[in-house]
Amino acid sequence: MVTRPEIADADWDAFVDAANPTSYLQRSAWAASKEPNGWRAVRWIGGDSVGAQILVRRAGPTPWAVAYAPRAPLATAWDGQTIAAFSAAARELLARQPERIAYLRVDPGLDAAAVTRAGTGGDASLADRFRASGWLPAPAVQPNASRIVDLGVEEADLWGGLRKKWRQYVNRARTAGIRVVEGDGDRLADFYAIYRETARRAGFIIRSERAYRDVWAAFDRDRLARLLLAELPDGTPVATLLLLRSGSTVTEPYGGATVSGAEQRANYLLKWEAMHRSREDGAATYDMWGLSSPGIAHFKAGFGGREVRYVGAWDLVLDPLGRTVLDAAGRARTWASRLQHGLDPRRGVSPDGTRTPGDANPGSSDPRADDEDERS
């Protein structure tokens, strides 16, 4: 496998755009949004079939650093040879870094059921192939499940994919005079106010407003960010979605609604408009991102599409002691952070370090969850 460690942003993003599945978390814009928190990106492409953008950061006052490749690697094949080659290349690449890296965590954006149906060659499962190359199951970072809607259909079919009651709710919101508007960076304060209210009501931790402004700025430079707000007739914003695009896939990682917005079904109209407008802009896939609770799963299921459950997170351990220490510290930090925010710490992380149902933020074991301490 030929590795090219130095890859320009444009060349890398072209590789990410062509991947199937693709992910906004692998774009250069995501790496740029994490730079203010001390993360730096290391990229490589092995041959034409596999690649990853790995984020590296020193873990506080410890002698170790963590490496994380969100929704990676991007690969066209998942047989034992590909995984073994990726594992060897990752070990070699990370060993050359100046930091003492404890582990590399990955969580491929692969539909577990689809992988099982397609097979990976021979009798070994995908999990067996990861284990055979030295990987260990790891706590989830990104959502373990999502709902994916195919936008490559006629608009009538997209509308028909909504449950009847959901179509009624969309029309009810329209009749009530609720409208969906596009926002720019000047509306991020409105977005954050709604998102913060949603987080308090649902019991999850969000990052500082600055963190979402960093994401917006990074993706907006490439015209890959979209901010939608649902407003009452008097102009009051009551629901919002921040959409990010990679290739032909639009994802809705952040959003929420006020109590008033939910009561008036503004969130139903908003999500329909997000799907509709994404299709009009040529997107082929709409990713609703996470199903963190039965209520959220039920709400999203009403908009059609298919549920996807991913293959999970995996660690390539480079320093066993470092991984043990950092995971323990992460669990403690999650517990303390949730207590500080007045939330039930038992929802943040279970004794084995994995996320528990209903927690919309993975907590401090998540290499992304660094903003509460640094940016608030």
| Whether residue 154 has pLDDT greater than 50 | yes
User: Average of pLDDT values for 67-85?
Assistant: 91
| Whether residue 305 has pLDDT greater than 90 | yes
Rg (CA), the chain: 20
**Residues 6+ positions from 281 with CB-CB distance below 8 Å:** none
Pairwise pLDDT comparison (126 vs 245), residue with the higher score: 245
- Give residue-wise pLDDT tens across range 158-176: 999 999 999 999 999 999 9
Residue 205's nearest CA partner among 2, 373, 26 is 373
Pairwise pLDDT comparison (286 vs 363), residue with the higher score: 286
d(CA 211, CA 228): 18
Percent of the chain with pLDDT over 70: 85
The pTM (predicted TM-score) of the whole model is 0.88
pLDDT at 195: 97
Asked if residues 272 and 303 have their Cβ atoms less than 8 Å apart, the reply is: yes
DSSP reduced 3-state for 93: helix
- Give residue-wise pLDDT tens across range 187-206: 999 999 999 999 999 888 89
pLDDT at 373: 28
pLDDT at 6: 75
Pairwise pLDDT comparison (367 vs 244), residue with the higher score: 244
d(CA 170, CA 269): 5
pLDDT at 338: 67
The CATH 3.40.630.30 domain(s) of the chain lie at 9-143+310-375, 146-309
**Residues 6+ positions from 347 with CB-CB distance below 8 Å:** 203, 338, 356, 358, 359
The sign of the dihedral angle between the CA atoms of 125, 127, 132, 133 is positive
pLDDT at 80: 86
Residue 264's nearest CA partner among 195, 167, 177, 162 is 177
Asked if residues 286 and 250 have their Cβ atoms less than 8 Å apart, the reply is: yes
146-309: CATH, from 3.40.50.300, 1.10.760.10, 3.40.630.30, 3.30.70.370 = 3.40.630.30
**Residues 6+ positions from 268 with CB-CB distance below 8 Å:** 166, 169, 170, 173
Helix (H) or strand (E) holding 102: strand 101-106
User: Average of pLDDT values for 347-363?
Assistant: 36
pLDDT band with cut points at 50, 70 and 90 for residue 331: confident
d(CA 345, CA 93): 37
Q: Please report how many Cα atoms fall inside a 13 Å half-sphere around the Cα of residue 103, on the Cβ side.
A: 24
Pairwise pLDDT comparison (24 vs 349), residue with the higher score: 24
Percent of the chain with pLDDT over 90: 72
CA torsion 225-18-23-290 (nearest 10°) is: 100
Three-state SS string over 182-228 comes to: EECHHHHHHHHHHHHHHHHHHCCCCCCHHHHHHHHHHHHCCCCEEEE
Residue 311's nearest CA partner among 175, 160, 137, 162 is 137
Return the CATH class of domain 9-143+310-375.
alpha beta
pLDDT band with cut points at 50, 70 and 90 for residue 366: very low
- Give residue-wise pLDDT tens across range 82-132: 899 999 999 999 999 999 999 999 999 988 777 666 555 444 678 888 999
pLDDT at 113: 74
Asked if residues 105 and 314 have their Cβ atoms less than 8 Å apart, the reply is: yes
d(CA 36, CA 32): 8
